[in-house]
Amino acid sequence: MQNIIVDGEIVSPSKVVCIGRNYVDHIKELNNEIPKQMVIFVKPNSAISSAIVCDQKEAIHYESEISFVIDGGKISAVGFGLDLTKRALQTQLKNQGLPWERAKSFDKSAVFSEFVGFTGDIKALSLQLFINDILIQEGDVALMINKPLEIIDEVSTFMSFAAGDILMTGTPKGVGELFCGDRFMGRMYNGEQLIIEKCWIVL
């Protein structure tokens, strides 16, 4: 089982629930249509990683996301997440009307910082992603089409969150390809307060 760290404690999520197309500007940058209902997909526990690993055979794109640990159907902690995607393969699968798992749910495709307990105002949360010291992505809950509590309610109509499961809430604009040796810096804010800062070197 792959693990995450929540307030210094080891937690083993059963799955990662992900929301696609949740920021309008990101939808536009990929020339997608705004969905009429939530786009929901799942990454297995085997996708969870604390390292960013590139693939020598095919390009992988990064997508930074505000991520939550769910306990008892409620948000208990927040962290910085990266949804890694094999974009060319995803496009091919979509064009054929096939599921996305091969492009989205591969091993080490869900990268996380540590998580910190959170009981504050969800609307105050925002993130920034720097790559090689350049600000590449930034977004906040206000920009989301579907807000975190709405997502939890919708997912819960057909699938249960086990204790410690993770919710990834979608990515703002600015996604792109990662390269070996890139320096990623993820930051999470609660209002003006920096609550998480995590650095990765792409392996």
| Residue located via tokens 């977004």 | 139
Cα 63 to Cα 8, 163, 164: the distances in Å are 25, 25, 22
Q: In Å, what is the CA distance from 180 to each residue of 63, 171, 200, 201?
A: 16, 22, 11, 8
pLDDT at 53: 96
Residue 122: closest CA among 95, 103, 100, 141 = 141
Rounded CA-CA distance 97/145 in Å is: 24
The model's pLDDT over 99-126, given as tens digits with 9 standing for 90+, comes to: 889 999 999 999 999 999 999 999 999 9
pLDDT interval class at 35 (50, 70, 90): confident
Confidence of residue 30 (pLDDT cuts 50, 70, 90): low
pLDDT tops 90 at residue 25: no
24-28, 90-94, 164-168: lowest mean pLDDT where? 24-28
Q: Give the pLDDT confidence score for residue 34 in this predicted structure.
A: 72
137-162: pLDDT as tens digits = 999 999 999 999 999 999 999 999 99
Average of per-residue pLDDT values in the chain = 94
Domain 4-201 has CATH 3.40.630.30: no
Q: What's the pLDDT at 27?
A: 65
Mean pLDDT of 24-37: 73
Q: What is the pLDDT of residue 159?
A: 97
